[in-house]
Amino acid sequence: MEPVVFSAADLTGNLDAVEARYRTDGFVVLRGLYSEETLRTLEDDCVRAQADVVAGRLPPRYGSTAFLDDESKAGAFANYVEYVNELSPAVLEAVTAPALVAVLHRLLGEGCWLNDAHRFGVVYQDARPGRESGYSRIGWHADWQAAPNLAIWPATAFTIHVDETSPANGFLRVVPGSHLWQTPAPSNVPLPESSVPAAGHTSAPAPFPMPLGFEKVPGEIAVYCDRGDLLLHDAYLWHSAARASVDGTTRRHVRGGYNTGDKAADGSREVFVKNAAR
């Protein structure tokens, strides 16, 4: 199965098809929404913020070790800049672009909201391989599993690709249609009180357990994106990141999400569930 790529023109003239694909597969790729000038400005802002995190010129709020494989490397290199929406007007403009918001209103309803102030906000991620990097990949998960106790789902995650993705620099693995299953909450880590045991868009049980690591999953596909591509995926979709195979490459992107429900219930980063096995 090859992912279907929609153009910026489809967001106005073919939105029914965009929505139908998202409902069926749990994700869509949108191409041509951002100009090269916008991407260059966004990239420059993010690289500058990354350097400021390493140099200690920004408060600790903007740095993160939550997802690192090796936290000892965080002092010399920043794989993440949290709340980058507060540091870059170009990022904020990109993640609130009218065309993007219109799609999200179609998918989530007009009451959806950008997660800009809680649990990491909008994040710039530099997932490059190499000895300086403390990150390599993340195993199978669905985004809602990070906060199974909060009434902020359904939700849609977005990823703006600064670099194209490939087997050389890493890419996203997804299981199309898995957002429709009732996926259990993580079972190998303590969960917050009031966490729901499972979630998904239908009552259908998952046909097999979600792996805790990086195993091959029946029906999974690779999603390769070009520079500037916008990937939208459902918070219930099973996905993981493949490790880069070539040192010296980069895989950088800006990611975040739009949620539903009561924004005040989103709480703080303390609700985030880090599955140590992933």
Domains within the chain, CATH numbers bracketed? 5-187+194-262 (2.60.120.620)
pLDDT, the chain, mean: 88
Say if residue 249's pLDDT is above 50.
yes
Amino acid (one-letter) located at 65: T
% of the chain at pLDDT higher than 90: 67
CA dist., res. 168 & res. 246, Å (int) = 5
Chain centroid, CA 151 distance in Å:
19
Backbone angles phi, psi at 198, to 5 degrees: -160, 160
Tokens of 139: 């195993």
Q: Which residues contact 46 (CB under 8 A, 6 or more apart)?
A: 81, 84, 88, 91, 124, 162, 252, 254
Helix ranges (H only) for the chain are: 10-13, 15-25, 36-55, 89-95, 98-108
Question: What does the DSSP assignment read for 204-229?
Answer: PBPSSPPPSSS---TT-EEE---TT-
In this predicted structure, what is the pLDDT of residue 137?
A: 64
CA dist., res. 55 & res. 237, Å (int) = 36
Rounded mean pLDDT, 232-236: 98
Tokens of 220: 């999974």
pLDDT tens digits, 68-88: 555 554 556 888 999 999 999
Q: Is the pTM of this model over 0.95?
A: no
pLDDT tens digits, 177-187: 999 999 999 87
